[in-house]
Amino acid sequence: MGYYMPSKNIDITEKSVKIPQHIAIIMDGNGRWAQKRGLPRSAGHKAGADAVERVVRACVELEIPVLTVFAFSTENWKRPATEVSLLMQLLLEYLQRKVKIMAEQNIKIRFLGERENLPEKIKTAIGRTEDYTKENTGLVFNIALNYGGQQEILHGVKEMAQAVVAGECSVEEITKERFAACLYTEGVPEVDLMIRTSGEQRISNFLLWQMAYAELYFTETYWPDFDKDALLRAIDAYGNRERRLGGLQ
């Protein structure tokens, strides 16, 4: 487990802080950020993409092993078609502009979620991105896209059931580890710290299995305003939590 000395503008100078192995972020509040400024929601989503870039860079600097961001939920299809296609378009542009730079930073990019129903262009782009960065050994950057926690668990249950039917595994052999390997996050440690921006205090069907023991951190900051200092504050709060994991102190 790595340690870092928090930057001077964070009010903790004496002690080193525990670094979470896996940070998951519900990037919320793009629309309200824009509304507050009298701008269209699209402006909020664009500013949100810049925040993603800042936070990824900060995670590389802080040597966080895994970052997972919620980019588009299975429930987000309920939004107007224009907003959905804008979000998809922004993701495409983001990948086109940033994948090479991220690859140079040794980042391994993976996508979590159901791919079947995604537009062809997106499917191609995410396949290429994963392939292009698959040998990288630095930050694992997971982008949850068309992702739902319940859907992911069902997907895992079906995969497990098929293995049982095919005689590859008995019912008794179904363990927590074996089941976790049927999830999109196969091989990734469970979430240590979950951050949600914009003041909402709910999980919204994110990483349900993987957040079983995560520390939850909620901030009023809208996602487009989130930066390295905000991330440091969250990590600092995490470092001050006492994680008993069911045991005693």
DSSP string for 129-177: HHHHHTT--S-EEEEEEEE-HHHHHHHHHHHHHHHHHTTSS-GGG--HH
Does 28 sit near Mg ion (CB under 5 A)? yes
> Which member of 32, 115, 123, 228 binds ligand IPE (CB under 6 A)?
32
Q: Which residue in the list 28, 30, 142, 192 is annotated as catalytic?
A: 28
136 classed as catalytic: no
229 classed as catalytic: no
Kindly tell me which of 105 and 205 has the beta carbon lying closer to ligand IPE: 205
Contact partner, 72, from ligand IPE, Mg ion, none, Cβ < 5-8 Å per class? ligand IPE
> Which member of 17, 19, 23, 27 binds ligand IPE (CB under 6 A)?
27
Sheet strands side by side (includes 193-196): 108-112, 140-147, 66-73, 22-26, 193-196, 215-218
Smallest separation (angstroms) from Mg ion to the CB of 32: 8
In sequence order, the 6+-apart residues with CB closer than 8 A to the CB of 195 are 23, 24, 25, 26, 217, 218, 219, 231, 234
Coil/strand/helix, residue 103: helix
CA distance 64 to 62: 6
As a whole number of Å, the end-to-end CA separation of the chain is 19
| Nearest CA among 159, 212, 157, 155 for reference residue 189 | 212
Contact partner, 221, from Mg ion, ligand IPE, none, Cβ < 5-8 Å per class? none
Coil/strand/helix, residue 104: helix
The DSSP bridge partners found for residue 72 are 145
Coil/strand/helix, residue 58: helix
Q: Which residue in the list 76, 136, 205, 236 is annotated as catalytic?
A: 76
Window 38 to 97, contacts with ligand IPE (CB under 6 A)? 70-73, 76, 87
Kindly tell me which of 28 and 192 has the beta carbon lying closer to Mg ion: 28
Does 26 sit near ligand IPE (CB under 6 A)? yes
Contact partner, 71, from Mg ion, ligand IPE, none, Cβ < 5-8 Å per class? ligand IPE
Window 114 to 143, contacts with ligand IPE (CB under 6 A)? none
Does 200 sit near ligand IPE (CB under 6 A)? yes
Smallest separation (angstroms) from Mg ion to the CB of 131: 31
| Nearest CA among 223, 189, 180 for reference residue 69 | 223
Query: Where in the sequence numbering do the catalytic residues fall?
Result: 28, 76
Q: Rule CB under 6 A: which residues touch ligand IPE?
A: 26-32, 70-73, 76, 87, 198, 200, 202, 204, 223
